[in-house]
Copies of this chain bind each other. A is one copy, B any other.
Amino acid sequence: MMSILDEMGTANRQLIVMGYKITRQREATLRVLFENEAEHLSAEEIFMLVKKNNPDIGLATVYRTLDLLNELDIVEKINFGDGVARFDLRSKDHEHMHHHLLCSECGQVKEIKEDWLQEMEVRLEKEFGFKVSDHRLEFTGRYHKCANKSCKKVRKAV
């Protein structure tokens, strides 16, 4: 179990190794990502959170940082189909466990942390000559508790 500081240190080290610089803006963006690991934030949302402590940061910088982190596989860029890209930390413990439940009623996105697909990946390589490097599994549906209208929307449903 790593602390946020440890995890940020690891990410920073990855940046340095690849010849990138640690800047105030990049650290602030990483911090927001680590502090909101459970969420699936959009660039805009990340931007606004970073702005709280760094009012002078530019939106373009956040986009450039997220691009960079995506390239380094520190975050994963996902699109749930609502027109904005969202960004998810890809710490070691999450690897290959990118399963999501999307509730069409309340818009909630829940992460499922189990790897159910190992077997299928073996099959794909054998049968299709396709070597899997990553996967993504998403279930759309609704929670029982949302079937009655009592649940509050957390996001525009997809």
Taking a contact as CB atoms under 8 Å apart, the answer to whether A138 and B135 are in contact is yes
Distance of A147 Cα from B85 Cα, bound (Å): 28
A137-B135, A139-B135 known; A77-B81 Cβ under 8 A: yes
Write out the residue numbers on chain B whose beta carbons fall within 8 Å of the beta carbon of A13: none
Q: List 7 A-B contacts (CB under 8 A).
A: A101-B124, A101-B128, A110-B128, A120-B139, A132-B141, A137-B137, A137-B138
- For the residues of A in contact with B, the DSSP-based class is strand
The closest CB in chain B to the CB of A127 belongs to: B112
Q: Could you say which interface size class chain A belongs to?
A: 20 to 34
Number of copies of this protein chain within its complex = 2
Write out the residue numbers on chain B whose beta carbons fall within 8 Å of the beta carbon of A124: 101, 139, 141
Distance of A135 Cα from B141 Cα, bound (Å): 8
Write out the residue numbers on chain B whose beta carbons fall within 8 Å of the beta carbon of A92: none
Query: Other than the known A129-B144, A131-B143, what 9 A-B pairs have Cβ atoms closer than 8 Å?
Result: A103-B130, A130-B144, A131-B144, A132-B141, A133-B140, A133-B142, A135-B138, A136-B136, A137-B137
Taking a contact as CB atoms under 8 Å apart, the answer to whether A136 and B140 are in contact is yes
Q: Is A20 an interface residue (CB 8 A)?
A: no
Interface centre among A77, A104, A140 (most CB of B within 10 A): A140
Write out the residue numbers on chain B whose beta carbons fall within 8 Å of the beta carbon of A121: 139
Q: Is A22 an interface residue (CB 8 A)?
A: no
Distance of A145 Cα from B128 Cα, bound (Å): 10
